[in-house]
Structure 1
Amino acid sequence: MTAIEFTDRLAVIATMHHKELAIAPILQASLGIKVTVPQDFNSDLFGTFTRDIDRPANQIETAKIKAARALEITNADLAIASEGSFFPHPILGIAYNRELVLLMDQKHDFTVYGESLSTDTNFRHQEISSYEQAYEFALKIGFPDHAVVLMPDAQTSAKQSIYKGINSIEFLKENVMELLRTYPTIHIETDMRALYNPTRMNNIAKATEDLVRKLQQLCPNCDFVNFDIVKRLKGLPCELCGLPTQSIRAHLYKCDRCEFQQEFIFPDGKQFADPMYCSYCNP
């Protein structure tokens, strides 16, 4: 197996939310990939942030399903699909954004995804009972550059009751007042679709950069892409007593194709750990 050549290959991006604006320039500049977007591709069929359509699988598998569907309806053998999710940070408790940008290469029979994990997100929601509250919420999430969504409540499933892409004061007031004529309180949240959320679009670009890194990181044994870290090995010796600590001593890299493995020691440039991290010197 030799290094895969991407220059001038056509990749179809499975999106209807203009993600190509974040993805295409990076793929073109770094790999020479040409991109296209399929006409009438309805990515909402694979899940919506407003919860009216469930995601068919987990984040990675859904990206694969979208990429495969894009290949089915085009003549390309290379597809790109992106999936985002938002959840509380496991330690900080604040909103956390995980973006995946996946490449599916039908010609060479492999998939690779890049990832971005970031607290840089305006993902928020709130129950409101007045236009003033809606406007205050909107300003906090970066309105009008970032849009908002309105619905009767957080569990709304009826599409006709969900107002998306609200990015003007006129539409905000009109839709808030219309819903409040029927409901005493309503639900407002950030529109997390990429074309209405520049902050998320930036994280998609970072995930694309990670994808490019993996595609350019080749296995020393078979020259295949995605020779990447599979495990971080602890045991960096203490600078004072020499005993192994919980600090990282090496990164273990592995090739998906030939399963070749290689350790790279002292990945942080440090051969010894500070004694403060040693359970013997600092029990």
Structure 2
Amino acid sequence: MNGLMRSVGYRDRTAALLTQHGKEQVIGPVLEAALGCRVQRVSGYDTDRLGTFTREIPRAGSQIEAARRKARIGMTLSGLSLGLASEGSFGLEPMIGMFPWNVECLIWIDDDRVLEIVGWAQGEAHFGQVLTGDWAKASTFTRRWRFPSHQMVIRPDAANDPRIRKGLAAWAELESAFVSARRESATGRVLLETDVRAHANPTRQHVIRAAAENLAARLQSACPACGAPGFWLVDRAPGLRCSDCGAPTRETLAEILGCVKCPQRISRPCTDRSEADPSRCDSCNP
């Protein structure tokens, strides 16, 4: 966003961050360095009540709705008019669907300016599962998934068994939990999976940090008309011409930047290429 960066008025302000999984250690340094603000960790509420990755409690609503709910709770508990919260989701990589994938959103709510800005990041996730009654196979699996730097979760039999042991971070406790779960199991098998809570999964922490960097960039991009932060990409205009026949294609010709507070929009031509590949042209490939 060259030419749009300028002060947005958050220096020496304090933003509430509701978390019980150490996210302030990842998010705080990024936003504090970029904005001159202070990120205050807020406790006093069990965020697992809003949903768990280990499936005991399903998340209500969408990813961004969950983040917004957490931010609002933190603002209420702290009495601050600035709040932020993050929420992650896990699935398969969207292009070919072969690798576990992590999408993180980080929401910033400013009640003084009545605005909401969201940063996003995504990347390959460090998440795997195995169902086995064999300790040798279990230990091989955990080494593959970088245990003990990435913590483990164990439960007997199946993915929804409520007899769960989380936050396993040492070999002795992992083996003890495995033996106990196998004893409880009706099938003699134990489900092991990587713990994807933020404090337990360094790979996820990297994606959360990237979301914080994206949010910081958005907050530093001010609207040229009203000065509100968050002036960012809101749409793409197709029409890049085919290098072979010259017809307009569905490939992006320009990016549309927009304000979260006023109607201001700016069209910025894409400069990474001047023509579209014929393989992306409907005229050349009807």
What TM-score bracket applies, with the shorter chain setting the length? over 0.9
**Aligned counterpart, 1:171:** 173
> Given that residues 116 and 207 in structure 1 are in contact (C-alpha distance below 8 angstroms), is that contact kept between their aligned partners in structure 2?
yes
Distance 2:29 2:159 in 1: 36
Distance 1:254 1:36 in 2: 30
**Aligned counterpart, 1:278:** 281
**Aligned counterpart, 1:35:** 39
With 34-43 and 127-136 compared, the bigger mean Cα shift is at 34-43
> Given that residues 259 and 265 in structure 2 are in contact (C-alpha distance below 8 angstroms), is that contact kept between their aligned partners in structure 1?
yes
SS at match of 2:175: helix
**Aligned counterpart, 2:194:** 190
> Given that residues 19 and 43 in structure 2 are in contact (C-alpha distance below 8 angstroms), is that contact kept between their aligned partners in structure 1?
no
**Aligned counterpart, 1:181:** 183
Distance 2:39 2:200 in 1: 22
**Aligned counterpart, 1:110:** 115
Question: Structure 1 residues 167 and 268 mapped into 2: Cα distance closer, same or farther (>3 Å)?
Answer: farther
Distance 1:185 1:261 in 2: 58
> Given that residues 18 and 43 in structure 2 are in contact (C-alpha distance below 8 angstroms), is that contact kept between their aligned partners in structure 1?
no
Distance 2:244 2:177 in 1: 66
1:190-222 Cα distance to aligned partner (Å, 9 max, x none): 100111100000100000011011111222221
Distance 1:154 1:27 in 2: 37
Task: Give the drift of 1:181.
Answer: 1.1
1:220-239 aligned at under 5 Å gives the runs: 220-239=224-243
> Given that residues 236 and 248 in structure 1 are in contact (C-alpha distance below 8 angstroms), is that contact kept between their aligned partners in structure 2?
yes
Q: Which amino acid aligns with 1:198?
A: P
Question: Which of 132, 138, 143 is 1:139 aligned to?
Answer: 143
Task: Give the drift of 1:36.
Answer: 1.4
SS at match of 2:78: coil
Distance 1:132 1:173 in 2: 10
What's the C-alpha RMSD, in Å, of the aligned pairs? 1.7
Q: Which amino acid aligns with 1:143?
A: F
**Aligned counterpart, 1:91:** 95
Q: Which amino acid aligns with 1:269?
A: D
Distance 2:273 2:35 in 1: 33
Q: Which amino acid aligns with 1:278?
A: C
Which ranges in structure 2 are unaligned for 5 or more consecutive residues?
1-5
SS at match of 1:181: helix
Distance 2:255 2:193 in 1: 40
Task: Give the drift of 1:68.
Answer: 0.5
Distance 2:173 2:123 in 1: 30
> Given that residues 46 and 62 in structure 1 are in contact (C-alpha distance below 8 angstroms), is that contact kept between their aligned partners in structure 2?
yes
Distance 1:200 1:162 in 2: 21
SS at match of 1:173: helix
With 2-11 and 203-212 compared, the bigger mean Cα shift is at 2-11
Task: Give the drift of 1:12.
Answer: 1.4
Moved over 6 A (4+): none
1:135-192 Cα distance to aligned partner (Å, 9 max, x none): 1111111111000100122012x3xx11001111101100000111121112111100
Q: Which amino acid aligns with 1:111?
A: E
Q: Does 1:269 align with 2:275?
A: no
What is the aligned residue count?
A: 277
**Aligned counterpart, 1:215:** 219
1:12-32 Cα distance to aligned partner (Å, 9 max, x none): 111000001110000111001
Task: Give the drift of 1:37.
Answer: 1.0
Q: Which amino acid aligns with 2:204?
A: R
Distance 2:43 2:276 in 1: 55
SS at match of 1:37: strand
Distance 1:268 1:123 in 2: 37
Distance 1:212 1:145 in 2: 28
> Given that residues 10 and 76 in structure 1 are in contact (C-alpha distance below 8 angstroms), is that contact kept between their aligned partners in structure 2?
yes
**Aligned counterpart, 1:81:** 85
Q: Which amino acid aligns with 2:152?
A: V
TM-score where L is the length of structure 1? 0.93
Which ranges in structure 1 are unaligned for 5 or more consecutive residues?
none
Question: Structure 1 residues 139 and 3 mapped into 2: Cα distance closer, same or farther (>3 Å)?
Answer: same
Q: Which amino acid aligns with 1:170?
A: A
**Aligned counterpart, 1:56:** 60
